[in-house]
Amino acid sequence: MEKPIVVSGIRPTGYLHLGNYFGAVRNFIRMQNDYTCYFFIADIHSLTTHPTPTNLQAGVKQVLAEYLACGIDPEKSTIFIQSDVPEVTELYTLLNMNAYLGELERTTSFKDKARKNPDNVNAGLLTYPVLMAADIIIHKAQFVPVGKDQEQNLEMARKFAARFNRMYNNELFPIPRPFTFDGKDMIKVPGLDGSGKMGKSEGNAINLCEDPKSIRKKVMRAVTDLGPTEPNSKKAEPVENLFTLMKIVSAPETVAHFESLYNSCEIRYGDMKKQLAEDIISYTDPIRNKINDILADTDYLTKVARMGAERARESAAKTLSEVKSLIGIKSLF
């Protein structure tokens, strides 16, 4: 039986953090045996924020090395760099003809970014979900492992895929679905600064390559409150976030232990943070140690990128030619 197809990507805007890892990469690793996987580095998407050429190149290498250090196996999965597959941007152009200003303007992430950076509301930002749809459907993906923050972008990809099928009276594209390994809701890894998600631009991230000392320092500084004064009281957001993070990285018994201390008003946040920091370190330690070795091996990185590009292009070119033929784009020679 054919394995279901999976596509997902990460922008190379710096180091991978715990949000990227638990929202995406951990699922990539778990999926690679049972699915046909395409995991890429979304360098074109990252251009919406105008990185310098040096930072862009460094970011691409870093994410590639981090993918590999986390355990994504280039023999099992196709790992590639988005810009190495020009078929993607060609499909993006074609899909743009059926993507409407109103729906693009209504996307939450577009509105958020336009509000935060009013001087850089570029067309790439507006059509970001279209490029993302092209990434996904060019390999006819059935599943997309992403964190909760990408839910709406994925919804748009589903819409564009279905629209194309309808317009051309075809079933070329499967309608891609979000994927979470345990069938639970998509995950949102909170930041340690009291509210919201962990993110690079939020400045509240713990990176995979961070050294243990720095992890301990960041976790110990996490925002909490004065502690519960009544048994079984509702947790304020910063404390809830700390527990959410603990549920993600720690053993269930550890979480239960601190839940019970919280409920009996005996919790000492300092103890909880110490435990949380150690549990984070046990995840990141083996990865951190590998990242620098892999980064130093330029030949290996080149080999992986080349192999990935070849495989991804083969799959992408096939779909693109089907798309063109359905649309009626046909060369006269």
**How distant is the alpha carbon of residue 198 from its chain centre?**
12
* DSSP-derived secondary structure for 121-190: --HHHHTHHHHHHHHHHTTT-SEE---GGGHHHHHHHHHHHHHHHHHTT---S---EE--TTS-PPP--B
116 catalytic residue (yes or no) = no
Least CB distance to ligand TYM at residue 297 (A): 24
* Interface mask toward ligand TYM for 194-213; x: CB under 6 A: ---xxx--------------
Of 76, 200, 318, 324, the catalytic one is 200
Which of 64, 81, 144, 291 is close enough to bind ligand TYM by CB under 6 A?
144
150 is a contact residue toward ligand TYM (CB under 6 A): yes
The span from the CA of 51 to the CA of 61, in Å, is: 14
Q: How many residues sit close enough to ligand TYM to count as binding (CB under 6 A)?
A: 27
Residue 318 designated active-site:
no
- Known catalytic membership, residue 113: yes
Q: Which of 5, 6, 15, 19 binds ligand TYM (CB under 6 A)?
A: 19
Strand (E) or helix (H) holding 81: strand 78-81
Is residue 27 involved in binding ligand TYM (CB under 6 A)? Answer: no
* Selected binder of ligand TYM within 5, 6, 24, 246 (CB under 6 A): 24
In whole angstroms, how far apart are CA 309 and each of 61, 92, 105, 230, 257? Answer: 15, 18, 32, 58, 48
Considering only residues 151 through 190, tell me which ones interact with ligand TYM, judged by CB under 6 A: 153, 187-189
Which of 8, 107, 241, 284 touches ligand TYM (CB under 6 A)? 8
Catalytic positions = 113, 197, 200
